[in-house]
Structure 1
Amino acid sequence: MKNRIEISSIIKRRTLGLTFVLGAASLAFAQQKASVTGKIIDKQNNAVPYASITFSNKANKLYSDAVLSDDKGIYKLDLTPGNYDITIEAIDFKKSTLNKQISGPLNLGNFIVESESSITGTKTSDIQGVVITATTKPVKVEIDKKVYDVKSDLTAIGGNLQDVLQNVPSVSVDPDGTVSMRGSSNVKFLVNGKPSALLGIDDGANALQAIPADQIDRIEVITNPSAKYDASGTAGILNIILKKTTKMGFNGSIVGSVGFQPRTSLNTNLSWKKGNWTWFATGGGGYTENKGKNWTDTNFATPNSDGYSRVYQISNSKNTSKNYNGSAGIVYDINDRTSVNASGTIRSFNSESDQPVEYSNYDASGKLIPGLRSSTGNNKNTGMQGDFGLDHKFNDQGQNISLSLSLQKNDSEGDSNIEQSLGSTFQLADKTNQKTVNKSVVGKIDYELPIGENSSINAGYKLDLNRNDYDFGVFEKKASDPDFLPLARYNSTTKYEEAINAAYIQFKSKIGNFGYQLGLRDEFSNININYNNLTGNPAEQINDKKKSYNGLFPSVFLSYNFSKDNQFLLNYSRRIDRPRSFFLVPFMSYTDNQNIFKGNVDLDPAYIDSFELGYNLSKKKFTLNPTLYFRNENNDVKMTVAYVFDNFEQRFVFNTTPLNLGNDRRFGLDLNYSYDPFAWLKISGEIDIYGYKTTGEYHYSYQDPNNASNIISKNISYDGNGISNRLRLATTFKIDKTFNVQLQGQFRGRQIEGANDQKAMYFMNLGATKTIWKGDGTLAFNMQDVFNTRAREVSINTAEYTQERYMQWQPQQVSLSLTYRFKQGEKVEAPKRKKDINSNSQGGDDQGPPM
């Protein structure tokens, strides 16, 4: 069987490699284009900003293109030589057309458009039929972040946030939904610059499926956050920016999708804007079914407590989930300088799981003793959030203040039923129940003060209050028991309270081509843990715990512009890795009587120093963004596994516990690129080659089961170092103006840390879109994991045992989605904002200064 798996793996790997080669080979083709420039003005010689100029090639529609004039009425684009019909349209102006032969670089000079009111005395209510297919870059670079344009990802249409994240630069998504950045999973999630109920408690993997891809405008990837952001999340911050209305009147879209494995969803975005009022609402839901496969093969150096030398277990699980979400809000412009907003969000996630586990137990003589463990479970999670805000501009020079308040509550409850048998003999049955209630209050104030033309100061304060109530229970029935009895050791209640006070100040300026941004943030954390173990055993009881610590977190960002599309970036920041509340709560989590997780109330935060040196080159057809990075983390938290004799269970068990282990260093080269050799071909990707060095040691001890007076102690080294890599390639083919196909290939290299050896992983996705109904509809096809290779394989080698693990959370999935857009009214011209003095031409607007 192993040989068959290896042969299949080789075939799939070579097929995926062929995809990379074909995509890379297309880089060799290019076609010479001519630069065309001009200016749109009115009869009074005033510039007409944001006019739409469409160039339609009369011989080949594939060479057609469109562009918007800038705020000075000037436009520029590159066109294939030929004969073009040119159409100019702008709000409050008559549509104008002309024809030009373009044979080389050409300046069309000024083109005068006539005001529509001079002819009809009326105002244009809508520009009909204008479809601009601008060549947007998938990744834009700013001084302190990268911005990923979700619209460029065809393979995520009809999907969710988890699907989108698979193609975001510097980000990886494991088969179980765990998100990491440059090899580290300590990622901070924000929605529109702040924590959100949409992501539920502890940003769990299931929560990623609650945000539809259609509701996401872009994702800000902040690998080295500045002082204005939270200092937590040592791997970085992912800020999910949701779509917002830009048109007057009533507008919206509806997206429905169906797929296999069974996967359905229906989501809508609605907005209405009139006068000083803007109303918006989003909502929808979906059903997903996953059939996972997991197996573990453990070989013991000496027979375990049950007398087995080898235990092989396999599970073919089925998980179904239903999620619903809805948001609604208003924005009211009191005047040109002041606006207030309020919104509410509710999210519900329900799941059911069926995970039978088949055991093949072998004793020292090789005799097989089969076993069976069935496990069914239910989980319900409901999140609610209310947001309130006020924004005020003191003047038109950029001095402004923003106040916000967010109230959140998340309720989670899960239960499971477990039965275990050996051969045909019933052994035991367990019932587990877990309840968690999270309440949080987040208030913040941000202020920005420009100083002259090239400088500004940002300052702010944030209060973050969190309370988590945990309630855990386990009940067990053995063959000799008449009914279920509580396992007091695993029954506990905990109240976890956390208060974080944070303040920051940041100064940015520019001297010629040199820009800099200096910041300092202070965060004071206060934590109270009230833990009650119902067993009453003093040895198992842990006193209430109080923890307080304060930290200063500086950040420095430097940039030098050789030109507007040629820039060097150098930055540094200090960060903190606060242990998750789930890790600090000292309860024992009962999976089965051989695998036990226990929290660690004595965990301390880890601190990290992060450096980046980047270069950004952006041309019309080509962008290149290499970044050298180095991260050094002291006192980092790792999950440790100890094989010990448990007096309560009276057997050897695997104990999993988080510990402050030692030092973790990571360094590498992260290279993002894009190339558009033809109008019908776009290529983008990422190459991340990184090294890692982990040093640490942990100690554990247990009572000798054969001699109670003898304590066995062991020291385990958690050292690991090596070089690994991640590769990503996306190739988009434009078949015609309405039909696009995209292929994505990804590869993650092998990585060894301590006793854990994680094997290489590779997979490929396919997406296609077709525009229908004159631009009002989009039909999309999506296939995730084309060759069904996306799985995690890990080997563990210790003195007591060796273990092979395989886990596939989501097998190949296929879906078809349909989007319908309806609109009324004109597009609202974006307000003229003071340009960020340290951003380059690739930068995008902030959604307010998130802390």
Structure 2
Amino acid sequence: MKKKIYSLLLLLFFVTPLFAQTVSQNGFIIKGQVVDSLTNETVPYATLSIALASTPQTPVKLLACDEDGKFESSLNATGNYIMFLQSIGKSPARKTFTISENRKTLDLGQIYMQEDNQRLDEVTVVAQKPLVKVEIDKLTYSLEDDPEAVTNNTLDMLRKVPMITVDGEDKIQLKGSENFKIYLNGKPSNMLSSNNASDVLKSMPASSVKNIEVITEPGAKYDAEGVGGIINIVTTRNSLQGYTGTVRADASALGRFGAGANLSVKAGKFGITGNYNYRHQNSPWTDAETIRDTKGENPSQLKQIGRNKNKGPFQFGSVEVSYEIDTLNLLTVGANLFNGNMKNNSESNVDMNYYDEASNYKYRSVGYGKYTFGSTDLSLDYQRSTRKKDELFTVSYRFSNSPDDSESRTVYSGISNYPTYMPPLNSRWETNEAYTNEHTVQFDYTTPIREGQTLETGLKYINRQNNSNTDNLHFIDSTGLWTENEYNPSSEFRHKQHIYSVYAGYTLKVDKWGFKAGVRGEGTALNVKFEDSPQKNFKTDYYDVVPNGTISYQLNMAQQIRIGYNMRIQRPGIWYLNPYVNTTDPENISYGNPKLDSEKSHNINLNYSMFAQKININVSANYSFLNNAIERYTFINNETGVAESTFGNIGKRHQAGSYGYIRWNPVKFFNISLNGGVNYVSYKAESRNLENDGVSGRLFSNAQFILPKDINITLYGGYSSPWISLQGKGSSFYHAGFNVNKSFLDKKLTVTLSCNSPFWKSMKMTNETSDPVFAMKSTNHWRTRDFSIRVSYRFGTLKDSIKKVRRGIMNDDAKSGGNSGGGEGGGGGM
């Protein structure tokens, strides 16, 4: 199988460029060279925008000069044109010229630009709309400039973003780590801070996203939460005077279908932006096998063979209303809603074999589960600007409710020789009602203090309550009644947090240098109650001081290098804290740990970027370490022989990695990119006598053809080696596929046909877990080959942008289960 992956990558890199060369170019040719007016030195990578003289605000061509200041491009029609020139450190310039039928090639000669005292804090070279730009504390990938975003979903586009990977199980990683936060428009969104982040992003059309920001060095204005950094999904803000919208639908051969719409309206001082998305999935059965070997006086082997499937709908939407009170005051009200209802069916045959055969037992289980999850976020933001440029004051309030309820029933049959020292295999009915409520108030202030210097400061308070109510019943055959399960009694759990923080940050720009530093103080008052066991109640308080700093240097107009340090903390969310004991599988039970402390990490990052006309490169290296990492661990209960999994602050984790991104655009109708990395991680948990280390890597490639007649073809593929955990390793994975889309009706209607995994029908994923007492291997097989169709239609007309507040609340301090995420470009918050 690896040979197929390597062959695909070779095809993408060597065969497709040859194909690209066969596409012909027509029209008129213009060329020239940009030079400095005083020194006569060339101006490399100057940005050029060409428009008809009659419509100067509507560019017909965007390009950039090469390293010698030279440019050459084609135009499709005759007429009078105007060229606008921009370059870092130069005053904007313009040049008029005329294209006529009797001259197919026009040499404009040397075009002069003058020095300018203006300093810029980022390296951005526009070469037919660049997809990536680097600033002092983040990297931005522009989806609105990527043709693939017209019909792809946002999860697919994440695979193209530097430092982000998405594996075969749609698990998102940032710099090889799952420990990060995802924001939506600079604010935390609970629908993206849970196990369902991948499903939501898979349902979110990429055409509704403006750009994706990767914030690897979060400043003091961000919550100290998110060890690996922040991924910020910034949605489109192209709602102008008038209205615009999109409707879409999709379906796949694997039982998934969905539909959605978004609408933006601007009328006077009012602006409204909203969207709604619905998705239903009915996945095929997944085959699963688990084998666990346990050492000891009476060694044993547990074998579980079964299958499971999930089906059900989920939906999400958002609405934001903004009102421009006057030129200096802006009010915004927003709501994000997310709801899902999934059903799970499972069946399993269990065989336990001991060295002493008299102890062998077996049984069969059939399970049914129902899960209801979601979130409601309501926000109110007031922004006050002043006559002083870039001075800004923001007051924000946010309420969030996140239910996470589950219900499961399990029936057992074929029971043979089941031991009496274990809980009886009566039919079980378990329910857990869990939710989190948050109230947040925040104040932010930003002001320039002198040329090239900016000061930002703010305050924040969060009142967070995590609740969990559990009912565990089992069926007694002799009475015919459901009664309380004394082996796993019901419980009521309350977990309250009061979090208060203050921050200050300072930015300085001097010539080619950029400096950014800040400090944040966060205090937490914690109160934990067990309503049915008050003797377990406890309270605690702790305070963290979190520094950060970044230095950047602009090597030239297209290259930048930066180094940064930041400290991050990670507070456990309800997923980690909930003491509810999940006994759906009697041989493998799991529960949370309400006594978890926040983990603290120290991170050092080094980054180099180069963006030229035809090639973009971004390379980074980083190192991080934690001494109290929250790790999931599994052990064998000596009394019952059952595997129990929970969480603890038991780990020391060191990680070093290097990540690279390269995009080559040899001609305007073809581009190819590589995105990948390699990292070494070391775990050690002395209290559990556990340690592990290893190297893992990943490589993804994407090739795109922009053909005549509004046809786009995309080929993609990738491979990732097994990831390393405290007690073992995960599975390697591979993927490949292609998309073909065609636009109609003046690009308003777009149809996309897709194929995923054309070379293999199914995939095997294997996870290995062990300690000195046991070794466990779990294998899953599921169908991956899929064909799908997507249709979208765009309508409406616009004239003037909606204004929205530039700061808002982003609660990124709670560590959630599964993919957790969260930042907004230009947004801020504590």
User: Which bracket does the TM-score occupy, shorter chain normalised?
Assistant: 0.7 to 0.9
CA contact (8 A) 1:603 1:659 kept: yes
- Residue aligning to 2:715: 743
Residue in 1 that maps onto 2:609: 616
Q: Does 1:765 align with 2:766?
A: no
Residues of 2 paired with 1:179 and 1:352: CA distance? Answer: 23
Question: Residues 332 and 381 of structure 2 are in contact (CA less than 8 Å); yes or no, is this contact kept in structure 1?
Answer: yes
**Partner Cα distance (2:33, 2:454) in 1:** 34
What does 1:674-693 correspond to in 2, within 5 Å?
A: 674-693=663-682
Task: Name the structure 1 match of 2:397.
Answer: 405
Contact 1:51 1:88 in 2 (8 A): no
Q: Which amino acid aligns with 1:645?
A: N
Which amino acid letter does the alignment assign opposite residue 170 of structure 1?
M
Superposition deviation, residue 626 in structure 1: 0.7
**TM-score under structure 2 normalisation?**
0.82
Match of 2:649 in 1: 660
Q: Of residues 553, 556, 569 in structure 1, which corresponds to 2:549?
A: 556
Whether the aligned pair in 1 keeps the contact of 2:288 and 2:781 (CA below 8 Å) is: no
Which of 440, 457, 460 in structure 1 is aligned with 2:458?
460
Distance 1:720 1:609, change over 3 A: same
Measured at CA, do residues 769 and 206 of structure 1 come closer, stay the same or move farther in structure 2, by a change above 3 Å?
closer
Moved more, 191-200 or 789-798: 789-798
The answer to whether 1:800 aligns with 2:773 is yes
Q: Secondary structure at the match of 2:2?
A: helix
Question: Partners in 2 of 1:343 and 1:309 — Cα distance?
Answer: 57
Q: Distance in 2 between matches of 1:303 and 1:562?
A: 62
Q: Return 601-610 or 581-590, whichever deviates more.
A: 581-590
The range that moved more, 569-578 or 599-608, is 599-608
Hey, what's the Cα distance between the residues in 2 that align with 1:303 and 1:669?
A: 42
The offset of 1:739, in angstroms, is: 0.9
Alignment-derived partner of residue 375 in structure 2: 383
For 2:740, give the aligned amino acid. Answer: A
Which residue number in structure 1 is paired with residue 312 of structure 2?
321
Match of 2:131 in 1: 138
Q: 752-761 vs 593-602, which deviates more? A: 752-761
User: Does the CA contact (< 8 Å) of 2:240 and 2:800 recur in 1?
Assistant: yes
Using the alignment, how far apart are the partners of 2:100 and 2:763 within structure 1? 52
Is 1:67 paired with 2:61? yes
Between the aligned partners of 1:635 and 1:759, the Cα distance in structure 2 is 26
Rounded to whole Å, the distance in 2 between the matches of 1:592 and 1:542 is: 29
The answer as to whether partners of 1:375 and 1:417 remain within 8 angstroms in 2 is yes
| Cα distance, 1:600 vs structure 2 | 2.0
Q: Which moved more, 1:624-633 or 1:599-608?
A: 599-608
Q: CA deviation at 1:818?
A: 0.9
Aligned to 1:669: 658
Q: Take 1:767 and 1:192, find their aligned partners in 2: how far apart are those partners?
A: 28
Q: CA deviation at 1:384?
A: 2.0
Q: CA deviation at 1:593?
A: 2.1
- Does the 8 A contact of 2:134 with 2:609 survive in 1? yes
Residues 751 and 758, structure 1, Cα contact 8 Å, conserved in 2: yes
Q: Cα gap change, 1:238/1:809 in structure 2, threshold over 3 Å: closer, same or farther?
A: farther
Q: 1:683 to 1:414 in 2, by over 3 A?
A: same
What SS is found at the alignment partner of 2:575?
Answer: helix
RMSD of aligned alpha carbons: 3.6
Tell me the SS of whatever aligns to 1:849: coil
Give deviations 1:231-272, integer Å, cap 9, x for gaps: 111011111112223422121111111212112111111111
Residue 795 of structure 2 is matched in structure 1 by 822
Q: In the TM superposition, what is the alpha-carbon distance from 1:731 to its structure 2 partner?
A: 0.9
Give runs of aligned pairs for residues 248-267 of structure 1, distance below 5 A: 248-267=241-260
1:323-402 equivalent positions in 2, closer than 5 A? 323-362=314-353, 364=355, 371-395=363-387, 397-402=389-394
Check whether the contact 1:145–1:221 (CA below 8 A) recurs between aligned residues. Answer: yes
Mapped partners of 1:261, 1:202: distance in 2: 21
Q: Aligned-pair distance for 1:473? A: 1.7
Whether 1:470 aligns to 2:461 is no
Q: CA deviation at 1:359?
A: 3.3
SS state at 1:406 partner: strand
Taking structure 1 as reference, are residues 753 and 350 closer, same or farther at Cα in structure 2, changes over 3 Å only?
A: closer
Per-residue CA shift, 1:429-486, capped at 9, x if unaligned? 1111111122111222221111232111111222222112111122112555522222
> 1:709-755, CA deviations, whole angstroms, 9 ceiling, x for partnerless residues?
xxxxxxxx322222221111111122325111112222212344454
Partner-residue secondary structure (3-state), 1:586:
coil
The one-letter amino acid paired with 1:315 is: G
1:5-154 to structure 2, matched below 5 A, reads: 12-25=1-14, 35=31, 53=51, 66-67=60-61, 78-80=71-73, 84-85=77-78, 98-99=99-100, 101=103, 103=105, 106=108, 135-151=128-144
Structure 2 CA distance for aligned equivalents of residues 591 and 36 of structure 1:
71
CA deviation digits over 1:275-318, x for unaligned, max 9?
A: 222122211312122225242332434599xx994333233322
Determine the C-alpha separation between the residues in 1 that align with 2:769 and 2:190.
37
Q: Is the CA contact (8 Å cut-off) linking 2:168 and 2:734 kept in structure 1?
A: no
Post-superposition offset of 1:570: 0.8
After superposition, give the CA deviation of every residue in 1:507-551 in whole Å (9 maximum; x if it has no partner): 111111111111111111122111234xx6xxxx75112222111
Distance (Å, rounded) in 1 between the aligned partners of 2:624 and 2:491: 38
The 8 Å contact of residues 750 and 757 in structure 1, kept in 2 or not, is answered as yes
Q: CA separation in 1, counterparts of 2:147 and 2:566?
A: 34
SS of aligned partner of 1:15: helix
Amino acid at match of 1:223: T
Counterpart CA distance in 1 for 2:699 and 2:561 is 24
Query: 1:625 is paired with a residue of what secondary structure?
Result: strand
**Unaligned stretches of 5+ in structure 2?**
35-46, 54-58, 84-96, 113-125, 419-424, 807-822
SS of the aligned residue for 1:774 comes to coil
Deviation of 1:198 (Å) = 3.5
Which one of 420, 430, 433 corresponds to residue 432 of structure 1?
Answer: 430
Q: Which moved more, 1:667-676 or 1:343-352?
A: 343-352
Give the SS at the match of 1:823.
strand
For 2:369 and 2:49, the matched residues in 1 are separated by 57
Q: State the one-letter code of the partner of 2:734.
A: Y
| 8 Å Cα contact 1:139/1:146 also seen in 2 | yes
Which residue of the partner structure matches residue 683 of structure 2?
A: 694
The 8 Å contact of residues 250 and 824 in structure 1, kept in 2 or not, is answered as yes
TM-superposed CA distance for 1:614, in Å, is 0.9
**Aligned: 1:232 with 2:225:** yes
Matched letter for residue 67 of structure 1: K
Indicate the structure whose relative CO is greater, using CA pairs within 8 Å and at least 6 residues apart: 2
**CA distance in structure 1 between the aligned counterparts of 2:827 and 2:550, rounded to whole angstroms:** 19
User: Secondary structure of 2:481's match?
Assistant: coil
Q: Which residue type is aligned with residue 610 of structure 1?
A: N
- Inter-partner Cα distance in structure 2 for 1:323 and 1:603: 31
Aligned to 1:530: 529
Q: 1:281 to 1:53 in 2, by over 3 A?
A: same
CA contact (8 A) 1:369 1:422 kept: no
Residue type of the partner of 2:392?
Answer: N
3-state secondary structure, aligned to 1:645:
coil
Quote the residue 1:312 is aligned against.
303
Give the SS at the match of 2:427. Answer: strand
CA distance in 1, matches of 2:178, 2:824: 27
Structure 1 residues 214, 285: closer, same or farther in 2, change over 3 A? farther
Q: 1:803 to 1:521 in 2, by over 3 A?
A: same
CA contact (8 A) 2:566 2:602 kept: yes
Closer, same or farther in 2 for the Cα pair 1:89/1:333, shift >3 Å?
A: farther
Deviation at 1:163, TM superposition (A): 3.9
Aligned partners of 1:83 and 1:102 also within 8 Å? no
What residue in structure 2 maps to residue 276 of structure 1?
A: 269
1:776 to 748, 754, 757: 748
Report sequence identity in percent: 21
- Measured in 2, the distance between the counterparts of 1:673 and 1:809 equals 32
The 5-angstrom pairing of residues 413-424 of structure 1 reads 413-422=405-414
Alpha-carbon shift at residue 108 of structure 1 (Å): 9.9
Give aligned pairs, total.
Answer: 751
In the aligned structure 2, how far is the partner of 1:409 from the partner of 1:220? 26
Structure 1 distance, partners of 2:383, 2:368, is 49
For 2:303 and 2:617, how far apart are their aligned partners in 1? 48
Say yes or no: does 1:590 pair with 2:583. Answer: yes
How far off is 1:552 after superposition?
A: 1.0
